[in-house]
Each structure stands twice: as structure tokens, then as C-alpha cells.
A = this chain, B = another copy of it.
Amino acid sequence: MASRGPSLPRITDVAALAGVSTSTASKALNDTGQLREETRERVRRAAEQLGFTPDSRGRALSSGRSYTVGLITTDSSGRFSIPIMLGAEDALSAGEMALVLCDTRDDPLREQHYLRSLVSRRVDGIIVTGRRTEPREPIDVPIPVVYAFSPSTDPADTSVIVDDHGGASSAVQHLLSLGRRRIAHITGPASHRSALSRAAATVESAGDALVGEPMHGEWSERWGRHAVDVLLRSGTEVDAISCGSDQIARGVCDRLRELGRSVPDDLAVTGYDNWSVMALASRPPLTTVDLELEELGRHTAQLLLEAIAGSPHRGLVELPTRLVTRESTLGT
């Protein structure tokens, strides 16, 4: 339509310059067919000279694939989905696949809109991710889909999630291995699956060493500070606090310091998420559980690629977390 300046060279231009047909040019550039090495070289030089870059739209049309995958996220803030996205993008770009981003902002209408758009683009596959670990309604598209972080409610779908149970356990094991025997657990709202599963794992791993019930509140520093007040006011003896998030743990540390309790000498504290802004800025820096979200993103992309290739891996995949030890349990 509006031909802006000299448009990019096409393969016919390359072919013309090399004095061959387009099909020969194609074969030369893709290392297929039967051609003399000299011919290949001639075509390659012509392509080089013209700065030819194949138009992937043509290729997409002819190959039936678009070499594109869509990523649908409901998490506009991006705390969790961003690292997943980057990991996925990393894994995909190695295979010359591009990732198109769709942020639904938790709006079902927008989600529908994006799904139509992705299907219309004939995306090779879709990654669906969210802010919470609660399972979500599967999406209905005739394309391979892998769910990341928020699994699908349909167990026949492919979902990659974090092993929250193992993560919480590893924190408790760490505390136990340090000799702590009076462990409290402060975490997020009981309405959140992540809080519940971490709490359950903590209870199970701590056994007799658990002090009281898991304390549920908001995912905030304020709740961490407040919970410390409640905990200490109750008079129960405590030598460690495992927290359901780094934010809570930071609040806990702040409050303990204000009350003159030493971390980790008097009380060891563990966080969860390894959210560097919190974990590193906390005084002292937090021992915490890294969710390895970027790896989760990579793994998700990998599974999606396999599904696209025709061998889908159905069901739930739980990826391990990694315990990061810092001064809040080890001292300096």
C-alpha cells in the first residue's frame, strides 16, 4: 500500500542477482535440495550483498506454523509473572520463536479478546500464567497450552507449578538443623492456597517444634510487625519464626529489632519468595526460599515446545525451590 521508501529485498531479488530461480535461492539459503556448492555460495553472497532477511510471514504461511507463542498473564503488577515471562522468552528465543505478550488485567472480556487475537495469529502455542497459585479455569483453544504457576483446574492439562510444600519444608528443616525447637509460623490469608499449603508443610515438617497455630494475616510488612507483637505478648517462648513471604519476614525483623530482640541470635527468621527488594534490604538480610520462577518459565516453554512438536506431557509438574541462606538465620 504505502510503500515507504525502498522496501526490503525479497528472495526473488536475491535469485535475480544470483542468476537463479527463486526455488534454487530458497534451497541454497536453507541448505536443502541438491545444488552445487558453488551455486549455494553465489546465492549466499547475493543475499549478503542485498542484506536479505527472509520474510517470516511468507515462511509462516507456507510452513503452517507461525513460530510465535502467546503468553497470557492476569498479573499486571508482575511480581510473579515477569520472571516466568523472561524465562520463557529466554527458552523460546533460542528456538527462533517469538513471544507475544497479553496482559488481561484479570478481565475475562480482555482475556477473550486476547484469545481470539492469538488464535487469529495462529500462534503455535500459549502459556497461561497468573498471580496466585490457585488453580484457574482452563482456556478453550484448539492450540497447545501450558499453564505456569497457576495450574489449570483440569488435571488433563499441562501445568507447571512451584513445589510449595517442599519449599516450606526446606525452610523448616533448615531451622531445625540449626537447633531451633520453638518455631512459629506467620503467613498470609487463609483464603490463599499458597498460605495454606505452606502452613500445612510447615506444621508437618516442624512436628513438635511448632509453636501454636499458623498465624494468618495479610501479605504485608505491617502484618509481620503486628504478628510479632501478638506472638510475644502471648508469652510463649519462641526461637524461630518461619514466614510465608519476604514482606512478612521483613516486617517481623523490623519489629524484633525495635523490641531489642536479636536476629538470628534470639530468633531466627526465614522468608519466602526471595524477592530481592525485600530479602536483601531487610535487616538482617533474609534466609528465604527462592521460587526459581525464571527456571519455571524456561521449563514451561520447554514443555510447550514439546507439545507443539506433538508429544504433550499431560498433568502437573512440580518444580523444586531453592533455599537461600543469609544472615537472618546464620548470623554474620
A positions within 8 Å CB-CB of B: 1-2, 4-5, 8, 53-58, 60-61, 63-66, 68, 71, 76, 78, 82, 85-86, 89-90, 93, 96, 98-103, 113-114, 116-117, 119-122, 142, 220-222, 247, 277-278, 281, 310
Contacts and interface: CB of A to CB of B under 8 A. Distances in A.
How many chain copies?
Answer: 2
Top 5 closest pairs, chain A to chain B, by CB: A98-B100, A53-B120, A56-B120, A57-B60, A56-B121
Contact of A82 (B5, B78, B310): B78
Nearest to A53: B120
Contacts of A117: 93, 96, 98
A179 B122 CA distance: 61
Majority secondary structure of chain A interface residues (helix, strand, loop or mixed) = mixed
Nearest to A247: B281
A53 B113 CA distance: 12
Contacts of A85: 101
Contacts of A54: 120
B121 A57 contact: yes
A57 B53 contact: no
Contacts of A114: 93
A307 B4 CA distance: 11
A5 B310 CA distance: 11
